[in-house]
A and B are shown apart, each in its own frame.
Chain A
Amino acid sequence: MSVQKSLTPTFVPGALPHGTGALPRLWSGKAWAFLGAAALVLLVVVPVCNLLVPKDSVFHVSDYTVTLIGKIMCYAIVALAMDLIWGYTGILSLGHGLFFALGGYAMGMYLMRSIGRDGVYKSDLPDFMVFLDWKTYPWYWSFTDNFWYCALLVVLVPGVLAFVFGFFAFRSRIKGVYFSIITQALTYAFMLLFFRNDTGFGGNNGFTDFKRILGFPIAAPETRVAMFMVTGAALLGFLCLGRAIVQSKLGRVLTAIRDAETRVMFSGYNPVYFKLFIWTLSAVICGVAGALYVPQVGIINPSEMSPANSIEIAIWTAVGGRGTLIGPVIGAAAVNLGKSWFTQALPEYWLFALGLLFILVTLYLPRGIAGLWIKKRS
């Protein structure tokens, strides 16, 4: 195959649609500069200001801030995954908290095994198993002392669940609000399952009191900063991956499914497999976000699977601006910064504020925060 002959379009009328040239550019020059700046801040400035700048300096970034930003970046990755399935493909999932939690639990299993005999009961088993009077690990805890095996689970468990669930749902042509409701039911069912002590994942306490990760003490500033940097790199990486997908022909098929699914079918595409692809990918991204989240916040329990959590993910995405990728990242950050301020200042009013925000955004900012910027530019 020969390389594309020429990059100049033979075709002038109107602006040539992006992505119709030889290789579409991933981002504009400005966007690359922005991403570069973000990478510099996340991978160099924050780590240096936290570890090397003395605590009394104005340039010092506190441990609290590092953890907070790290946590928010995990949420941002989830919102990004949500945007792929909801913003671009028009499928509203109200169960994305489940995939996030499953990724978190998979990482949590490794972290529990790494505690070793440093638990309260000085046993080989995690404290909650000792408490239940279990003598050995259940079979599904096999090999979880291996980090890479657990890393594989982080991807496989949400991925396989989403694939199987999605296959039957999409093949049965379950759409719109019905799909949203069954995803909500799915996460609720898993929450009830994980609340049970017999399930073997610590019941309502979940996993906590982690001691180390890959041999490093988990609470040490250097370990925290390293996890922060990995999360930052993952966020930027997923942003580029998402962009590459929505700019491809497949991305245009996804948006076409959102806007006119029957036309897509009668054009010869089988929407089932396209939905399944993006749905599974979205679930896997959520799983990775959950795995990055758990070692940073130090706990995972079934409340992460509560229906309200999944609804909140949809709110971040809507507030930031659906179908823009960067919007949901901003939305997740804005809502969660608001949340951490509110829950300290006016804890009882947070849910009211969140509800009000959602109503206001729906009424006055249908394209979210990112929509403001797009409007200004055009």
Chain B
Amino acid sequence: MSANATPIPNAGASGASGHISDGRVAMKGVDISHKGILYLDSISVSFDGFKALNDLNLVVDAGELRCVIGPNGAGKTTMMDVITGKTRPDTGSAFFGQSIDLTRLSEPEIADRGIGRKFQKPTVFTDHTVFENLELARKADKRVWPTLTARLDSAARDRILTILDTIKLTAEAGRPAGLLSHGQKQWLEIGMLLMQEPQLLLLDEPVAGMTDDETMRSAELFESLAGEYTLVVVEHDMDFVARIADRVTVLHEGHVLAEGSMQQVQENEQVIEVFLGR
């Protein structure tokens, strides 16, 4: 099958599950007919002469759990900014599936196409309850008028209850999100991403500030999500990376230094030099 100019949701690959009958939502499946879900090709970004990304090439396969590691300033967050439309690359192209050009879409449009992003610092809606946070994130027609007239149906309610259970916050459903612990906020934000029914999840340091127990439970959660979703995780905690990653990409000074399994990467001479030779 060749790539189509207009993406047609192919059964199974499309994130739009049966109960969403709105055509606008259903038509947005990402075309992953060539196995890859994210293609970054020769991307460069510079801020005031500083090259944050320098000829970055990265391909992520659908269903993969990819970890991205690298020293501070390697360009990990800038890479996520490019993928989510927050930063426009100076050169290069970024494609989501075969046909969605990420460099031409705004942040909300990219989120709507199926890319969810978790920030380094957990950002949730502090005045809203945990339940309401999930409700707002839920995949739906997010234009002004449909939002004004939106009513929560039982399918949506069930979905929220399922996610509450997944992120272990059922008991906190009625509490304002601002009152949650740091780790709980991280989980809530992940829950909000899942409510968006994304194809690709970008997680920026998802276990930072978590207790060992919470970190372990996060690892279990991410492992269970891989396959159904594609995950790209930026993390500093090497034990965590070693545990969850299918493949690891090492970034250094804005480009890819090495890529492979955790073991391959750890044995790579250049990687050792960059990480230990500082």
A binding-site residues for B, Cβ under 8 Å = 4-5, 10-11, 13-17, 19-23, 245, 248-250, 252-253, 255-256, 258-260, 262-271, 273-274, 277
Q: Chain A nearest CB: distance from B176 CB in Å? A: 10
A268 close to B142 (CB less than 8 A):
yes
**Interchain CB contact (< 8 A) of A267 among B136, B171, B173:** B136
**Interchain CB contact (< 8 A) of A14 among B111, B142, B161, B175:** B175
B137 close to A255 (CB less than 8 A):
no
List, in ascending order, chain B residues with CB within 8 A of A20's CB.
131-132, 135, 152, 157
Instruction: Take A260-B126, A268-B112 as given contacts and tell me if A11 and B151 are in contact as well, using a CB distance cutoff of 8 Å.
Output: no
Closest to B117 in A: A266
Give the A-B contact count at a CB cut-off of 8 A. Answer: 119
A4 to B132 Cα, complex, angstroms: 19
A263 close to B124 (CB less than 8 A):
yes
Q: A258-B127, A269-B147 are in contact. List 7 more A-B contacts (CB 8 A).
A: A248-B150, A253-B147, A255-B128, A259-B126, A260-B125, A267-B196, A268-B112
Identify which of residues 127-163 in chain B touch chain A, using a CB-to-CB cut-off of 8 Å.
127-129, 131-132, 135-137, 139, 142-144, 147-154, 157, 161
A273 to B142 Cα, complex, angstroms: 11
A270 to B152 Cα, complex, angstroms: 21
A277 close to B144 (CB less than 8 A):
yes
Closest to B161 in A: A11
* B209 located at the interface, meaning its Cβ lies under 8 Å from any Cβ of chain A in the complex: no
* B17 located at the interface, meaning its Cβ lies under 8 Å from any Cβ of chain A in the complex: no
What are 5 inter-chain pairs, A to B, with CB distance below 8 A?
A: A17-B129, A20-B132, A263-B119, A265-B108, A267-B111
A22 close to B136 (CB less than 8 A):
no
Instruction: Take A249-B136, A249-B150 as given contacts and tell me if A269 and B142 are in contact as well, using a CB distance cutoff of 8 Å.
Output: yes
In the A-B complex, the 4 residue pairs with the smallest Cβ-Cβ separation, listed nearest first, are A14-B174, A268-B111, A250-B148, A249-B150
Residue of B117, B128, B147 with most partner-chain A CB within 10 A = B147
B111 close to A252 (CB less than 8 A):
no
A5 to B192 Cα, complex, angstroms: 26
Instruction: Take A250-B148, A274-B144 as given contacts and tell me if A266 and B116 are in contact as well, using a CB distance cutoff of 8 Å.
Output: yes
Q: Chain B nearest CB: distance from A17 CB in Å? A: 4
B148 close to A248 (CB less than 8 A):
yes
List, in ascending order, chain B residues with CB within 8 A of A21's CB.
152
A255 close to B127 (CB less than 8 A):
yes
B119 close to A262 (CB less than 8 A):
yes
B157 close to A11 (CB less than 8 A):
yes
Q: Chain A nearest CB: distance from B42 CB in Å? A: 25
A13 close to B173 (CB less than 8 A):
yes
List, in ascending order, chain B residues with CB within 8 A of A15's CB.
174
List, in ascending order, chain B residues with CB within 8 A of A273's CB.
143-144
* B6 located at the interface, meaning its Cβ lies under 8 Å from any Cβ of chain A in the complex: no
A303 to B136 Cα, complex, angstroms: 43
B107 close to A265 (CB less than 8 A):
yes
**Interchain CB contact (< 8 A) of B128 among A14, A22, A252, A268:** A252
**Interchain CB contact (< 8 A) of B111 among A10, A17, A259, A265:** A265
**Interchain CB contact (< 8 A) of B173 among A4, A11, A23:** A11
* B84 located at the interface, meaning its Cβ lies under 8 Å from any Cβ of chain A in the complex: yes
A10 to B153 Cα, complex, angstroms: 12
Instruction: Take A23-B151, A260-B126 as given contacts and tell me if A10 and B157 are in contact as well, using a CB distance cutoff of 8 Å.
Output: yes
B135 close to A249 (CB less than 8 A):
yes
B108 close to A14 (CB less than 8 A):
no
A260 to B111 Cα, complex, angstroms: 16
Instruction: Take A20-B135, A268-B111 as given contacts and tell me if A260 and B123 are in contact as well, using a CB distance cutoff of 8 Å.
Output: yes
List, in ascending order, chain A residues with CB within 8 A of B170's CB.
13
B125 close to A255 (CB less than 8 A):
yes
A5 to B106 Cα, complex, angstroms: 38
List, in ascending order, chain B residues with CB within 8 A of A245's CB.
148
A270 close to B126 (CB less than 8 A):
no
List, in ascending order, chain B residues with CB within 8 A of A267's CB.
108, 111, 136-137, 142, 192, 196
